[in-house]
């Protein structure tokens, strides 16, 4: 494999959350969305590297950070060895000639008030025409510029170019708009194209055509792709290597073929299993992870997937709030809710790190303690095993967990996995 084109090292991107004046005075520290929380990967020249995950996993934030639309909180981004983590405006201008972004929504990426020809010409006016030697020269005349746009349109299959030049975006189909966007990106002769869900908005019958088109462009212009998608099937087809992301972390990364043949991380397995299979004769009962992706402001301790993981261990990161979630889930059954009313309501429980607590006020805490013990015992599993102590302090019941084992990415059978099972 050739040298790395892009290196991302321990990238963190946090967004501050705006809070009201009173809340800020009351304190509670800085509240941040941990959109990307310690991500490292590198992309070799000529490769298609896939970032795959569900909404909110941080994949688009990474894309935006790479082209300087979002500032990295910490970590490094190296492009051909040059540090471009925090580029000054002039460097950023040139970074964007080398790294370009194709967005999901081609319609939103094009100005409705400009013809697509003008929109493309505008890029050339700003950045100049790319020459064979890699230099950029200012266009000599408007006619010269128009010819350059024609060449680009011809290149991306918008033929005859003169016909498309004067079209407005709403006169074109989704696929054609995506071609205009691709043309505008190619006008800069970038080395790396970040394609963020480039086919998600297209209808199924034309999606394949767009993917083929992207692969043709790649071959013709010797491009490298960072392909961002939530669709594991498309990623499997397109990518040489993939990284599966969950809540701001990469959980599994390696050659696409290796991962699809034998996924190791429980989250990767869950994702693969959830894909609907277009074959009614292969219907299977799916075992899905519990609940939903948690909030990225307070990501779960330890492995972020542990509250939903079907094979979690006692050391995976169980903490106070997991007990509260357990009670809530149990009491979805009206029968259990009635029988265990003494331990609730859920709103009176409060979690702080490894501890969950409830102040029972004037009532006797001892029976509540017994009931919680019984509930935990009945539930069993890793959560129960992770509890250090269920005790009473004054009028408060406390459930305390053991701290989790430290989690580091490990090489497992040709890929890297961040999971305590390995």
Partner 1 sequence: MTFDTPDGPVHAVTDVDLTIEKGTTVGLVGESGCGKSTLGRAILRLLPENARISGTVRFDGIDLSSRSPKEMRDLRGRNIAMIFQDPMTRLNPLMRIRDHFIETIQAHDPNVRPEAAVKRALKVLADVRVPADRMNMYPHELSGGMRQRIMIALCLLFKPALLIADEPTTALDVILEAQILQLLQSIMHEYDMAVLLITHNLGLVAEFADRVAVMYAGRIAEEGATVPLFREPYHPYTQGLLRSVIDLDTTKLYSVPGAPPSLLGESVGCPFYPRCEKRMAVCEAVFPEIRLVGEDHRRVACHLY
Which CB, 64 or 236, lies closer to partner 1? Answer: 236
Determine if 283 is a binding residue for partner 1 (CB under 8 A).
yes
Determine if 173 is a binding residue for partner 1 (CB under 8 A).
yes
Asked whether the beta carbons of 279 and 86 are under 8 A apart, the reply is: no
CB neighbours (10 Å) of residue 336?
15
Which CB, 45 or 348, lies closer to partner 1? Answer: 348
Determine if 279 is a binding residue for partner 1 (CB under 8 A).
yes
Interface region with partner 1, contact rule CB under 8 A, candidates 22-30, 91-99, 126-134, 345-353: 345-353
Determine if 381 is a binding residue for partner 1 (CB under 8 A).
no
Determine if 34 is a binding residue for partner 1 (CB under 8 A).
no
Determine if 131 is a binding residue for partner 1 (CB under 8 A).
no
Residues 6+ apart with CB under 8 A from 215: 238
Interface region with partner 1, contact rule CB under 8 A, candidates 94-102, 144-152, 283-291, 365-373: 283-291
Subset of residues 308 to 337 that bind partner 1, contact rule: CB under 8 A: 328, 331-334, 337
Determine if 220 is a binding residue for partner 1 (CB under 8 A).
no
- Dist. CA 419–CA 422, nearest whole Å: 6
Asked whether the beta carbons of 14 and 35 are under 8 A apart, the reply is: yes
Of residues 7, 9, 45, 54, which one binds partner 1 by CB under 8 A?
A: 54
β-pair partners for 185: none
- Strand 241-246 vs strand 48-52: parallel, antiparallel, or unpaired? parallel
Determine if 138 is a binding residue for partner 1 (CB under 8 A).
no
Q: Is the peptide bond before 345 cis (omega within 30 degrees of 0)?
A: yes
Which CB, 118 or 328, lies closer to partner 1? Answer: 328
Which CB, 29 or 276, lies closer to partner 1? Answer: 276
Determine if 31 is a binding residue for partner 1 (CB under 8 A).
no
Interface region with partner 1, contact rule CB under 8 A, candidates 7-15, 86-94, 269-277, 357-365: 269-277
Residues 6+ apart with CB under 8 A from 304: 246, 247, 248, 249, 294, 317
| Structure token pair of residue 364 | 């006797």
Question: How far is residue 283 from each of residues 224, 225, 262, 269, 280, measured CA to CA in Å?
Answer: 38, 35, 21, 17, 6
Determine if 17 is a binding residue for partner 1 (CB under 8 A).
no
* Count of CA atoms in the C-beta half-sphere (13 A) of 206: 12
**Residues touching partner 1: how many (CB under 8 A)?**
47
Determine if 345 is a binding residue for partner 1 (CB under 8 A).
yes
Question: Could you tell me the smallest distance in angstroms from the CB atom of residue 275 to partner 1?
Answer: 6
Determine if 70 is a binding residue for partner 1 (CB under 8 A).
no
Determine if 233 is a binding residue for partner 1 (CB under 8 A).
yes
DSSP code string of 89-157 = HHHHHHHHHHEEEE-S-HHHHS-TTS-HHHHHHHHHHHH-EEPTTS-EE--SSHHHHHHHHHHHHHHTT
Which CB, 100 or 178, lies closer to partner 1? Answer: 178
CA 180 to chain centre: 26
Of residues 3, 22, 204, 408, which one binds partner 1 by CB under 8 A?
A: 204
Question: Could you tell me the smallest distance in angstroms from the CB atom of residue 59 to partner 1?
Answer: 12
DSSP code string of 181-211 = HHHHHHTT--SEEEEESTTTTS-HHHHHHHH
Interface region with partner 1, contact rule CB under 8 A, candidates 24-32, 231-239, 352-360, 364-372: 231-239
- Dist. CA 366–CA 374, nearest whole Å: 13
Asked whether the beta carbons of 211 and 1 are under 8 A apart, the reply is: no
Which CB, 90 or 282, lies closer to partner 1? Answer: 282
Question: Could you tell me the smallest distance in angstroms from the CB atom of residue 224 to partner 1?
Answer: 21
Which CB, 6 or 199, lies closer to partner 1? Answer: 199
Determine if 108 is a binding residue for partner 1 (CB under 8 A).
no
Q: Would you give the end-to-end CA distance of the chain in angstroms?
A: 27
CB neighbours (10 Å) of residue 213?
18
Of residues 346, 351, 355, 421, which one binds partner 1 by CB under 8 A?
A: 346
Determine if 347 is a binding residue for partner 1 (CB under 8 A).
yes
Determine if 231 is a binding residue for partner 1 (CB under 8 A).
yes
Binding site for partner 1 (CB under 8 A): 54-55, 173, 175, 203-209, 211-212, 230-234, 236-237, 260, 270-272, 274-281, 283, 286, 288-289, 292-293, 328, 331-334, 337, 345-347
């Amino acid at each position: 494999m050739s040298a790395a084109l892009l290196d991302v090292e321990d990238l963190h991107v946090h967004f501050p959350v705006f809070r009201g004046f009173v809340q800020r005075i009351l304190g509670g520290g800085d509240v941040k969305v941990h959109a990307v929380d310690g991500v490292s990967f590198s992309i070799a020249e000529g490769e298609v590297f896939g970032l795959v995950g569900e909404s909110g996993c941080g994949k688009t934030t990474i894309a935006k950070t790479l082209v300087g639309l979002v500032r990295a909180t910490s970590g490094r981004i190296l492009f051909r060895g040059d540090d471009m983590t925090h580029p000054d405006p002039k460097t950023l201008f040139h970074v964007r000639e080398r790294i370009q972004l194709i967005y999901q929504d081609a319609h939103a990426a094009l100005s409705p008030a400009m013809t697509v020809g003008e929109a493309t010409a505008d890029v050339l006016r700003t950045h100049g025409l790319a020459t064979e030697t890699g230099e950029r020269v200012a266009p000599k005349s408007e006619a010269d510029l128009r010819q350059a746009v024609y060449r680009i349109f011809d290149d991306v299959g918008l033929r005859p170019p003169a016909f498309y030049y004067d079209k407005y975006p709403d006169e074109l189909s989704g696929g054609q708009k995506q071609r205009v966007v691709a043309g505008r990106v190619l006008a800069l002769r970038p080395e790396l194209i970040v394609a963020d869900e480039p086919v998600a908005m297209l209808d199924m019958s034309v999606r394949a055509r767009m993917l083929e088109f992207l692969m043709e462009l790649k071959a013709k212009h010797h491009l490298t792709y960072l392909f961002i998608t939530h669709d594991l099937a498309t990623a499997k087809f397109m990518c040489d290597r993939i990284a599966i992301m969950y809540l701001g972390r990469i959980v599994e990364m390696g050659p696409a073929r290796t991962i699809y043949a034998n996924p190791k991380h429980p989250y990767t397995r869950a994702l693969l299993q959830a894909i609907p299979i277009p074959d009614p004769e292969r219907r299977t009962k799916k075992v899905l992870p519990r609940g939903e992706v948690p909030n990225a402001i307070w990501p779960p301790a330890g492995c972020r997937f542990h509250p939903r993981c079907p094979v979690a261990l006692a050391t995976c990161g169980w903490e106070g709030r997991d007990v509260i979630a357990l009670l809530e889930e149990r009491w979805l059954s009206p029968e259990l809710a009635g029988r265990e009313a003494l331990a609730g309501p859920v709103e009176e429980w409060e979690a702080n790190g490894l501890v969950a607590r409830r102040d029972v006020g004037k009532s006797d805490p001892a029976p509540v303690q017994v009931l919680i013990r019984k509930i935990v015992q009945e539930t069993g599993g890793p959560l129960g095993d992770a509890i250090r102590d269920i005790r009473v302090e004054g009028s408060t019941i406390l459930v305390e967990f053991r701290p989790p084992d430290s989690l580091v990415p490990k090489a497992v059978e040709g890929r890297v996995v961040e999971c305590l099972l390995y």
